Amino acid sequence: MGAGAGTAGPPAGNHATPRPLDTAGFHAACARLERAHDRRLGLYAIDTGNGRTVGYRAGERFAFCSTFKALLAGAILARLKADAGILDRRILYTRHDLVPYSPITEKHAGGSMTVADLCAAALQYSDNTAANLLLHAVGGPAALTGYARALGNRSFRLDRYEPALNSAIPGDPRDTVTPADMAASLRSLAVGNALTAGGRERLPEWLLGNTTGANRIQAGAPAGWRVGDKTGTGDYGAANDIAIVWAPDRPPIVLAVYTAASATAAAADEPLIAAATQLAIGALG
């Protein structure tokens, strides 16, 4: 079994010095979770205060499903530097543009929505038509893949639009990413310098308003911690969540959790994501 390594970075922030990482124990606990849930598990967590990380199968590819929408929103927000009015721009669309699972855009078909409202729909309700409209606006799958490269994400590849990208066929490299790269990209967007100050404020606001993640990373985070996340679900048991997790007394943790099964119709295993979240946060100390 492949496993990502835990690392220690330069100290930063004001929270207490954490205990030494038990990388071997963390990997063993993740392997036990995989066996108990009969799933493949990949995760990567970054303590943005001290730079420490923990990972498991962090360099392996997983189908990202709708978690890519966070990166898509980042690509939109990146345009604020050159186009301050982009979020207020309206995009026209018709019923012919609608695809399955579009709870917000289906209400406005034949009219228009602002780019900001489309981003909120895509991130907070995982609206697939909203994602496709935004994806067209940034230039399509190849353009978003190029944006990921500019962020330093070497594994991300978007090949298709919604909902086809959720097929998650084992071994298919299309529409996949590694947990380590996705967590690093989310860190760059939310707490790094990839976006303007306005963009860094807007993305976490959208993520904190997510309505689809109550049983995933949110369920595994300690009581009183805030979670801004983007979920993803597909065939072959693909169930994912990426998040920024804020504790009351420390810098945020960025976490990416990806899971997969071998059966086409396998159900999403949300308790596995919650359990993996508890392990990762506990390991970071």
Catalytically active residues, by annotation: 66, 162
Question: What DSSP line would sit under 185-223, residue for residue?
Answer: HHHHHHTSSSS-HHHHHHHHHHHHT-SS-TTTHHHHSPT
Closest-CA residue to 186 (of 235, 142, 272, 245): 245
CA dist., res. 132 & res. 99, Å (int)? 9
